[in-house]
Structure 1
Amino acid sequence: MRPLQKTNLADSAADRIRTALADGLWRIGEKLPNEQGLSDQLQVSRGTIREAVRVLVAQGLLETRQGSGTYVVTDRVVPQPLDLARRTSLRDRLEARLALEVEGARLAAQRARPAAIRQLHALLDQRGHSAAEPDRAAFIARDLAFHRAVIAAGENAAMLELYDFFTRSITDTIEATTGGLLPEPDLAAHRAIVEAIATGDPDAADRTVRAFMRPVLAALTESRPGSD
């Protein structure tokens, strides 16, 4: 397998592994090389390989066995609804993200432990104020880590699995709001979500997340043909 270009690395890695499976590089039941081996072949980080493998496991192509490794389950993948979601419009994906994050924040307001609240504040401190920095990809990763932690604070494993599977689509929306295409919610808007969750009031958390997303959705509405 040839090295990857440094764009959408996890997706590209997943696509390359998927193609290798279809080409018979690894047969059904065969164990894949470990993270370091795949990392060396594709010349990407082990974290990128880990994310790519997670996508392929979710698609049913691979199976991770605790303490043993990752094995091929099948060499064919049937497009899943969440795969097809990535082909939809940015507005559709932002609305889907809003639905997921609203319910995630509501659950977090009801269930978040003090340690989870402290972690959210710490992640915001790490995130920083703006994407105007040399490594925008690193900023996006920190931003995504915060939003995922909000979902995790709700202590609903299915919601977190859904969020992880939907990560690429959510990352697309974050890239749009940090690349100057759409309004970027500032640090205060992010902090307001944590403060609303900390009150323990799910309705307050609901309102805050909707307020967070409203300018972005409004900008998309204004840019649609015939929206005047």
Structure 2
Amino acid sequence: MADCCSGGCSSDKPPVDPRYRRVLWIALWVNALMFGVELYAGWAAGSVALLADAVDFLGDAANYGISLFVLALAPIWRSRTALVKGATMGGYGVFVLGTALWHLQLGVLPKAETMGVVGFLALLANCSVGALLWAYRNGDANMRSVWLCTRNDAISNVAVMLAALGVFGTKSGLPDLLVATIMGLLGLSAAYSVMTHARREMREGQAPAPAAPAPASVPAATIELKRR
């Protein structure tokens, strides 16, 4: 029994990496904090890109929490959770695209200075989390989804800063809306990647194991020799 618990036997539950668990807790708190910062700044600045990024931070905080919950579960449940997370990412993308269209009709001019400062702060936060998650980027579907979320966040932060520069230079809200649209499309792309990876893992996990080859029959002559 001791040998089995130490890894001598196969198990449906993978060992939990304590370092990965700590990284997820750090990522959860960083994203929860940045959600509050960007939500307030987005409404104050009238920026769709910042609001979209705030929703993204909230979604990531929830994803990290889910990841912590499924760390010790069987691989099939981790893959199913990744499917749910992928659907959430896709919903985020649709939400951002719809919000961008709504703000296009309103014609609001966001505050470029606020967008730039908060975007840079968010970039620092995501780069810090990304550095911690780098070693786990090629893990299972659940780990991959966590890495993709952080990577896309960093790209979105750079885009928000570019949008701030565009708004400042053109005195128009179109750069903000353009970046929000790109962020929505990134969310849809990441959702497709995560869900495809999770489905593949589920198919591989449910596939029946190949039958063991039958032992070769012992020739009768050999049996007779042994008797002698």
After TM superposition, the score normalised by the length of structure 1 is 0.28
| Larger-gyration structure (1/2) | 2
After TM superposition, the score normalised by the length of structure 2 is 0.28
- Structure number with higher relative contact order (C-alpha < 8 Å, ≥ 6 residues apart): 2
